[in-house]
A and B are shown apart, each in its own frame.
Chain A
């Protein structure tokens, strides 16, 4: 059963198209991830689905409710953890949670228990009576995640849930997301630009870039589409070698990069001698070669033509800016 369905969902900001006619559906009970670089349109999509932005074009339903016409019904069904902090810094951590619990109509006993539970989960019990303005960036993030989990939503949206967190907290949060998904049957829609996060958590992944969905599938199928094994090699005369290899039908796909080639193949170890043989005939020198199982990085590279690392020169600065803004 599909819990979210979008048809040609589009959002334009003046001339800039942030989300460009995307159509996809999410099944009830799955963990679905949008994987893409900063500015790909992930957050904008979430904001439309959570009724915070009006789509420019297209439509979507969540739990059979129209996100434009039945906004109040949609909101009943969802929980959201925003990418930017959405806390009242003049209240304490506990007061922020209490505010949320009451907004979502939790009864008195449930409020008390649940607040304690989630505080424990994110390890903020000792800080619960401290004003949020005195929290560090990481603490704020943890509090927000605790808050998003509080009211047992049907669909939980997590926009970059572990951005800027240490690896220990990330692990704990991943485990809890999985637990939520299994035990409460919460459908989870998350966005991330961390490959490991998508790989670990998601049943299915949609790769999104420049406002468009390039592919949606299970992680296994995506990896298979690249090939069972990935061979990376560097050599002299890359272009010539690429042309020659394209004639071999046992190579599922081939991608030429600046300094290396990646080949998707079956039984990679057995193909290495064949590759050397071809290179030898062309008098091409292979400088290095390796075989490995495909990762989401390979998948991403395959569909976008870039690695996530290509975006990174700007992202550390962006994150720093974000932290700076958070503190203000």
Chain B
């Protein structure tokens, strides 16, 4: 019995890998887009001074861009359930004698693998651009954070996919919710003391803030607002909530 569940998780993962490798244009786009952010924003804002940013702006920006790459890629994996729904393949998956949790786990692991690959590519480029890793424990914590961020985003994507019937809804959510939350996550500019109080309030209530802050704290050990472990706990909690909700909605969904 367990063997079958593992087999199913594996083949769900394998399918995502195959699809990922075959979608060459998607790979290119998903790597090039964050690099644009890194280079263009990084070069443009380098000359500006931000309250709360010490050192090179590029080092401040890099953790945010890595987070963004992982988030978007993972969310796409979650939402791509919609694709399967429209192409009918979801029925094939849902009718199989496999626990819903295994289906979700397979999909999440597949999404996490591709997202982490993309994250690592950005990370390596950042290191090549001069981002330094101060200590190994921070680095390990960052790896764990990357996995958690990916799982959270897949969970969120699943919620969208089960609640929406077309891609227009996904676009609206991306533009009206995710993008603003990203701007308020401290990925591009620090949430410093002199910002308006309401902006700070939203930022501190924004789960993405703790992701970016945690990545920054654990990767570079500088410019973070909270200790990385605090960020980690918040992100861990958010991850559990998102994955549970995503699994719940998915298991209740009809094909």
Which DSSP category, helix, strand, loop or mixed, fits chain B's interface? helix
Per-position 1/0 for A204-232, Cβ under 8 A of B: 00000000000000000000000000000
Given A53-B254, A72-B99, A88-B15, the answer on whether A103 and B91 have CB atoms closer than 8 Å is: no
With an 8 A cutoff between CB atoms, is B167 at the interface?
no
Q: Which of A75, A87, A88 contacts B95 (CB 8 A)?
A: A75
Contact indicator A102/B11 (Cβ below 8 Å): yes
Contact indicator A102/B8 (Cβ below 8 Å): yes
Contact indicator B7/A102 (Cβ below 8 Å): yes
From B4, which residue of chain A is reached at the shortest CB distance?
A105
Contact indicator A89/B87 (Cβ below 8 Å): yes
With an 8 A cutoff between CB atoms, is A78 at the interface?
yes
Per-position 1/0 for B138-171, Cβ under 8 A of A: 0000000000000000000000000000000000
Q: How many residues from B make CB contacts under 8 Å with A?
A: 28
Residues of chain B contacted by A29 (CB below 8 angstroms) = none
Considering the complex, which residues of chain B in the window 1-38 have a beta carbon less than 8 Å from any beta carbon of chain A?
3-4, 7-8, 10-11, 14-15, 18-19, 22-23
With an 8 A cutoff between CB atoms, is A30 at the interface?
no
With an 8 A cutoff between CB atoms, is B97 at the interface?
yes
The interface centre, meaning the residue of A54, A87, A99, A104 with most chain B CB atoms within 10 A of its CB, is A99
With an 8 A cutoff between CB atoms, is A80 at the interface?
yes
With an 8 A cutoff between CB atoms, is A51 at the interface?
yes
Report the contact-size class of chain A (Cβ under 8 Å from the partner). Answer: 20 to 34
Residues of chain A contacted by B91 (CB below 8 angstroms) = 52, 80, 82, 84, 86
Residues of chain B contacted by A75 (CB below 8 angstroms) = 95-98
From A80, which residue of chain B is reached at the shortest CB distance?
B95
Q: Which of A47, A100, A102 contacts B92 (CB 8 A)?
A: A100
Q: Which of B3, B10, B18, B94 contacts A91 (CB 8 A)?
A: B18
Contact indicator A90/B92 (Cβ below 8 Å): no
Per-position 1/0 for B84-102, Cβ under 8 A of A: 1001111111111111000
Q: In whole angstroms, what is the CA distance A75 to B8 when docked?
A: 14
Residues of chain B contacted by A95 (CB below 8 angstroms) = 15, 18
Contact indicator A103/B88 (Cβ below 8 Å): no
From B98, which residue of chain A is reached at the shortest CB distance?
A103
Per-position 1/0 for A267-291, Cβ under 8 A of B: 0000000000000000000000000
Contact indicator B88/A90 (Cβ below 8 Å): no
Residues of chain A contacted by B87 (CB below 8 angstroms) = 85-89
Contact indicator B97/A102 (Cβ below 8 Å): no
How many whole Å from B13's CB to the nearest CB in chain A? 11
From A75, which residue of chain B is reached at the shortest CB distance?
B97
Residues of chain A contacted by B7 (CB below 8 angstroms) = 102-103, 105
From B93, which residue of chain A is reached at the shortest CB distance?
A103
Q: Which of A50, A54, A72, A88 contacts B89 (CB 8 A)?
A: A88
Residues of chain B contacted by A54 (CB below 8 angstroms) = 254
The interface centre, meaning the residue of B14, B94, B96 with most chain A CB atoms within 10 A of its CB, is B96
Q: In whole angstroms, what is the CA distance A72 to B99 when docked?
A: 7
**Residues of chain A having any CB pair with chain B under 8 Å:** 47, 50-54, 72, 75-76, 78, 80, 82, 84-91, 95, 98-100, 102-105, 147
Could you name 7 residue pairs across A and B whose Cβ atoms are closer than 8 Å? Answer: A54-B254, A75-B98, A87-B88, A89-B87, A95-B15, A103-B97, A105-B8
**Residues of chain B having any CB pair with chain A under 8 Å:** 3-4, 7-8, 10-11, 14-15, 18-19, 22-23, 84, 87-99, 254-255
User: Top 10 closest A-B pairs, CB basis?
Assistant: A105-B4, A102-B11, A75-B97, A103-B96, A86-B88, A76-B97, A86-B92, A52-B255, A86-B91, A84-B88
